[in-house]
Amino acid sequence: MDHAPKLDTLETIKALPERREPYWNILEYCRHIGLEKKPAKPLHWVARIRKKDGRYRQRRLGPAVSENSQGLSYEAAIALARAWFAEQELQGIASASYPVGTTQHLRYSKSETGFTVGDALIDYVEWKRIAATQTTFETLVALINFHILPRLGSVQLDELTGNTITNFCRAILETPPKRGNQALKARVKIESLDPDALRRRKGTLNTLLGILRIAMQMAWENGHTASERSWRCIHRVPNLEVPRQIFLTRAQCRELIAACRPDLADLVRAALYTGCRVSELSALRVCDVGKDIFGIYVSSPKGWRPRYVYLPEEGMRFFLAKCAGKADDDIVFRTGAGQIWKTRHKHLFKAAVEKAGLPHEFVFHGLRHTYASQLVQAGAPLAIVARQLGHANTDTVSRTYGHLSCESIERELALRFAALEDQPREYDVRMRSLRKSLQALPPVIPASSWPRSNFALCRGDELQFVSRRGA
């Protein structure tokens, strides 16, 4: 959907160019108010509602007030739109609406019949409201609302057992991920999942189990239960982390930039020069460019720690050019309509990826992985890559990108290894061929999501045997 400046003043409406399609504002998700500003036509308010089949039903509300004519104000048009949304005719075909923005509270009310898992999660979320960063907190609330509360919210804390957790684990693993407003798909048995899908679902499950265990332990510490069973019966499932695979070459980066519209192309360039997240680039201000260093200052990172990101000369020139003529407090990157990017890049980036012929699963965050991958492949020390990305140590970088450092490993061996004896040069051509293929060596992807070892002290091949017998 096209995003327009808020349509609540004559000044903003006057500044909009004429076009055939309406300008839309979101009242609630799946409920929109729009303005028709067609060539040689009077202004008109329109409304639309998203139906369960994914299509829209639209209605013209009436003429809009303008400098030259009387009509409906923005507020009056919204009132008419909401009255239409409430009509009985639409109730059976319309998608459910939900508020714009992120949810800050759990969809659960305290129990009156005993202390439940939901009650424990309420206390846990209130603590996280104080202790966690905003993005972490919002993600946490969304995970609890969608995954945990519908399945475990009403369970009495003293009735939570290992069997309850096992059933919860199976439900999470067998439930396909939900994509945006799409309807939730049917459950798929664990035995039917491919290893990569199972690995991803286990990652989500372990996040949820971590939330549950801490919340249950807090409930025990706060005296809501005398038994430790509610948190001791929760264990993470064994899983195998897979190195990052999807990243772009330099040639693909150029093709992607060429496929983007100008404002998005600038955002893509910024990500490739810095490895920053889209949220960090969306909040970047002119005063943060060239602040104390040859680079930028990231003051609103995902975690607690702001950081400096150093730039190559090409990148520094680019950022200075984007800041030219702007005030220190101005946002560096905005959409062509003058808005802050936030999540407005998603559909545009997806279209650019398809136009450039890149893997359809490649998303904007992949530019951050591209930045890190190319640095590691070029031999940059992992400590420098971790610092540029804002990681506290090299562990994450090593696990995610360590398989890409083939060339630097080979270079170090050639430099440090003392020869044992003279050897003929007859294999030089073959060795050069091997060296070239080594630089592009893909990670070895295991056929199973089971790690070689886990808390059960059982080998991976034994676990595979057990899982086959269970199937």
Say which range, 157-166, 243-252, 306-315, 340-349, has the weakest mean pLDDT.
243-252
Residue 435's pLDDT is 55
- Across 82-91, 303-312, 378-387, 427-436, which has the greatest mean pLDDT? 82-91
Residue 401's pLDDT is 60
Q: What is the pTM of this model?
A: 0.60
With 50 as the cut, is the pLDDT of residue 445 above it?
no
Task: Give CATH superfamily name and number for 117-232.
Answer: Tyrosine recombinase, N-terminal domain (1.10.150.130)
- CA-based nearest residue to 244, from 385, 368, 351, 392: 368
Residue 415's pLDDT is 66
Residue 182's pLDDT is 62
Confidence class of residue 154 from pLDDT cuts 50, 70 and 90? very high
The CA radius of gyration of the chain, in Å to the nearest whole number, is 27
Residues of the chain with CATH 1.10.150.130: 117-232
Amino acid at the residue 465:
F
Residue 373's pLDDT is 84
With 60 as the cut, is the pLDDT of residue 237 above it?
yes
CB 173 within 8 A of CB 193: yes
Q: At what angle do helices 406-416 and 366-377 cross, to 10 degrees?
A: 20
Residue predicted with more confidence, 219 or 246: 219
Task: Give CATH superfamily name and number for 250-413.
Answer: Intergrase catalytic core (1.10.443.10)
Residues of the chain with CATH 1.10.443.10: 250-413
With 80 as the cut, is the pLDDT of residue 442 above it?
no
Q: Which two tokens stand for residue 328?
A: 């220190």
CB 286 within 8 A of CB 383: no
Q: pLDDT tens across 362-389, in order?
A: 999 999 988 988 888 777 888 888 888 8
Residues of the chain with CATH 3.30.160: 10-91
Residue 299's pLDDT is 83
Q: Considering the chain, what is the average pLDDT of its residues?
A: 82
Q: pLDDT tens across 302-311, in order?
A: 555 788 899 9
Considering the domain 10-91 in this protein, what is its CATH number?
3.30.160
With 70 as the cut, is the pLDDT of residue 60 above it?
yes
- Proportion of the chain above pLDDT 70, given as a percent: 79
How far apart are alpha carbons 27 and 78 in whole angstroms? 8
Residue 55's pLDDT is 87
Q: How far is CA 197 from the centre of its chain?
A: 18
Q: pLDDT tens across 105-115, in order?
A: 888 888 888 99
143-155 average pLDDT score: 93
Say which range, 126-135, 147-156, 198-207, has the weakest mean pLDDT.
126-135
How far apart are alpha carbons 236 and 217 in whole angstroms? 15
